[in-house]
Structure 1
Amino acid sequence: MRKRTKARQVALQFLYQMDLRNDEILEQKDTFIESTECCAEVRKYALELIDGCRIYWENINDAIAKVAKNWDLSRMAVVDRTILRIAVYELLYRKDVPQKVVINEAINLGKRFSTEHSGAFINGILDNLKKN
């Protein structure tokens, strides 16, 4: 598995918990990251994703809400919403990752960790964001 793919999975796990438990989980971030059986490069990128999503949380949520036609953010599955946050962060704030890579990675995360329909759902939202 590629390093950034693994980093996205680690970030997904932590941000999923953060979505459910709010900021109380932040004090456990470093312990969580260190407990993963990953190389330093994976842990570094996972931390960048987590920190970036946290810093831009409201902007990311607003961007998703604007393009998620007929979907309220709170009605989305937590896993899908978390994957979208990571992808939107990368699309809007990480110019070092090609858009196609971000979208493909998000679709694959959805297929792997959510429902059989999540890949298409995530693709639709991210495609709308990319167009706008």
Structure 2
Amino acid sequence: MGDRRQARELALQILFSFDMDKVDPDESLEAFCTNNEEKLTQGVEPFFMDLVKGVRENQPKIDALLNTYSKNWKISRMPVVDRNIMRIAIFEFLKHTDIPCSVTINEAVEIGKKYGTRDSGSFINGVLDRIKSLEGFE
């Protein structure tokens, strides 16, 4: 597994935890990093931290995009895994313009298939593609 995929999967895990446990994010992040020290290599940790902190700092804007473009789905009703995968991807759209949107979407779909439900891949693909197209991300 590549460093960026590893970073995305680890970011999903901690963001899922923030969403479910309603714990102090800073303490939880510190404990998570300690418990996953072997996975957070020099190639993984910087991108992981950027994703986690970036999603947290930009969550109102990210969630507004999700609410706008997810037809018939309120963000609160989305599966927790799916919404956090999409939050990561939307953050990449916004702040990592060096990563092509098609790569970001593909990564999100693959992670959705691995961690989500049977329908996660197509749901994630549809919402992210709509955001990419209608918001003008390339």
TM > 0.5 fold call: yes
- The TM-score normalised by the length of structure 2 is 0.91
Gaps of 5+ in 1: none
Change (3 A) 1:87 1:62: same
C-alpha separation between the residues in 2 aligned to 1:58 and 1:23?
Answer: 18
C-alpha separation between the residues in 1 aligned to 2:99 and 2:4?
Answer: 10
Aligned residues: 132
C-alpha separation between the residues in 2 aligned to 1:92 and 1:23?
Answer: 26
User: 1:41 offset after TM fit, Å?
Assistant: 1.9
User: 1:126 offset after TM fit, Å?
Assistant: 0.3
**Matching of residues 98-113 of structure 1 within 5 Å:** 98-113=100-115
Structure 2 letter corresponding to 1:5 = R
User: 1:93 offset after TM fit, Å?
Assistant: 1.6
When you count helix as a share of all residues, which structure comes out higher? 1
Question: CA contact under 8 A between 1:18 and 1:26: conserved in structure 2?
Answer: no
Runs of 4+ in 1 over 6 A off after TM superposition: none
C-alpha separation between the residues in 2 aligned to 1:96 and 1:21?
Answer: 33
User: 1:9 corresponds to which residue?
Assistant: 9
Question: CA contact under 8 A between 1:34 and 1:43: conserved in structure 2?
Answer: no
- The TM-score normalised by the length of structure 1 is 0.95
For the residue of structure 1 that corresponds to 2:22, the secondary structure is: helix
**Matching of residues 63-102 of structure 1 within 5 Å:** 63-102=65-104
User: 1:43 offset after TM fit, Å?
Assistant: 1.5
User: 1:59 corresponds to which residue?
Assistant: 61
C-alpha separation between the residues in 1 aligned to 2:55 and 2:101?
Answer: 17
RMSD value, Cα: 1.1
